[in-house]
Chain A
Amino acid sequence: MMRIHRVAVSNAALLEIDGPVWSVLTSQSVALSPSPVAMVAAVSPLMALSTKHGKVKGLSARMAHNGVTLNVRISWEDPDKDDRIEDLDRFVDAAAVLFPLGEDANPFTMGDDRNPVNAWFWKADREEPFDVIARGYSTSQRRPGGASGLVVRAEHRQGAWVVVFQRPLRPAPGEFTHFEPGATARVAFAVWEGNNADRGGQKAVSGAFLDLKIDS
């Protein structure tokens, strides 16, 4: 079970990519594999032909809350920094953290109409992340991060991306995941390698939802 550590640190300090708080938390490795695009062939039979997507093999995650915000710091190796669309056939790097809003949500299909999912989505060419709601593949809606108070910091150095997401544990009403200290939650991860033309459903994913324990 992955753990969200309770820390006595300000929101501002948690948003610092190299803040001292992050170095004392244990990092947890998450294996990634190409998303099973055949599962969504009805929505995109063309994408279902893809065999080269999902190049990133894994990431390391550290998670913390301070009673006010949930913070997720992920990093992964990526020798090419793709943070700009340089030509019409180029894509940017991206990453997302996915939470279920319904009990039986399937992360591979982005939930379904009874079991929505909520994603925190960062793209390397944007300062503001998206707070995504989806009710099944093809239905995702990108809401501005400001809707839930989601913010992100990202940096590419020494052949790796480091991204910190921060969002209030209990955001304003809306379809956003709520987190309670002492409770459990579930999470999944996705990474898009721009240089590999990863986008949309063509991504590297962590598989079934992973269990999370939130420190009280």
Chain B
Amino acid sequence: MSATIPSKQQLKSCKRQLATVIDLNKCMGCQTCSVACKNIWTQREGTEHMRWASVATCPGSGYPRDWEKKGGGFDAEGRPRAGQLTTMVDCGDSFQFNHEEALSPGASGGRRLEPRSLQGGAPTWGYNWDEDQGKGEWPNPYFFYMPRKCNHCTNAPCIDACSRNAIFKREDGIVVIDQDRCAGHRHCIEACPYSMIFFNPVTQKSEKCIDCFPRVEQGIAPACNRQCVGRTRAYGYLDDPESQVHKLVRKWKVAVPLHPEYGTEPNVYYVPPMSPLSFDGEGKLTEAGRIPIAALERYFGPAVRSALGTLVEERKRRQRGEPSELMDLLISRRWSDRFAEFTREPV
């Protein structure tokens, strides 16, 4: 290897690691995070289809469509797995409406306002197409919301895959794509098992969540985290013992990564949904949660069991009137408690 070409290990190295924790018990799928992100980052030409931050219903086809079936990441031996590219429709399309035809004063009558796919014709799929459908049979249907963004992985497969070494980790652990180096080959999109990298057909370069680094550098939390009205999100350095992310991930171990089996060591962590209780055949409440534990394990791996165990135990402790640091953390009476040193106002 040439001395002038950095190794993948160099490109993946960082001094500290920023992380996000999202409490799925509090996410109500309001999409404020997605809109906050879109307003800041993806209103440019060629980015209409992109949602660097998104929320989809689980179980469901997710966003982008069927991302869990597209491969990428690493196998059990740490070898890269082949992956698939996403299409415009997978990425949610960008419907256009026939405003002129239907609404202008001179328009001929009878035309309804209709969406059209960017690819032409009536839409066949779109963002949140299967919202709130979920799974399960009455009287025990279930679903939960899955907010997502780039995981800024410790073992980022996009960095490995980029044949131009255009992708690297900053000192703070944020993974970015150098837009000057990117040639739009899209190996990173195939490599990302979370399908969180998007191709811009206008600039012909790949783009993704930058964790709002221009805000972070000013002490302001990323927009998706800061704007969350449900106080579901925490942000900070994983190695900062005072940060909520450290306490939830490292100390209490109630926040777990999505699909750890992909081998990328993601840095977005989820407090798993505790599930409403299910009814039996007589219509009486049982002790069992509605969301099958196997379904949660499929998303979060085996660590979800002990995480849920701790959550249930601490909730009971609080119900008995005893103190619980964990419940206090999850309640977050002041919004600023959640964001460590990233509490400056964006305006």
Contacts and interface: CB of A to CB of B under 8 A. Distances in A.
A199 to B, nearest CB: 5
Given A47-B161, A138-B163, A200 B183 contact: yes
A146 interface: no
B192 to A, nearest CB: 10
Given A43-B5, A113-B3, A200-B185, A88 B199 contact: yes
Contacts of B140: none
Interface stretch (B83-91, B210-218, B266-274): B83-91
A85 B2 contact: no
A137 B163 contact: yes
Nearest to B3: A113
A139 B161 contact: no
Interface string B168-207: 0000000000000001111100110000001101001000
Interface in A83-137: 85, 87-89, 112-113, 135-137
Interface string B74-92: 0000011011111110110
A11 interface: no
Contacts of A42: 1, 7-8
Contacts of A140: 164
Interface string B1-41: 11111011000000000000000000000000000000000
Interface size class of A (residues with CB under 8 A): 20 to 34
B183 to A, nearest CB: 7
Contact of A200 (B3, B5, B90, B187): B187
B243 interface: no
B4 A200 contact: no
Nearest to A136: B2
A85 B161 CA distance: 21
Interface in A181-206: 199-201
B119 interface: yes
Residue picked from A40, A45, A113, A201, most chain B C-beta under 10 Å: A45
B204 A85 contact: yes
Contacts of B164: 138, 140, 200
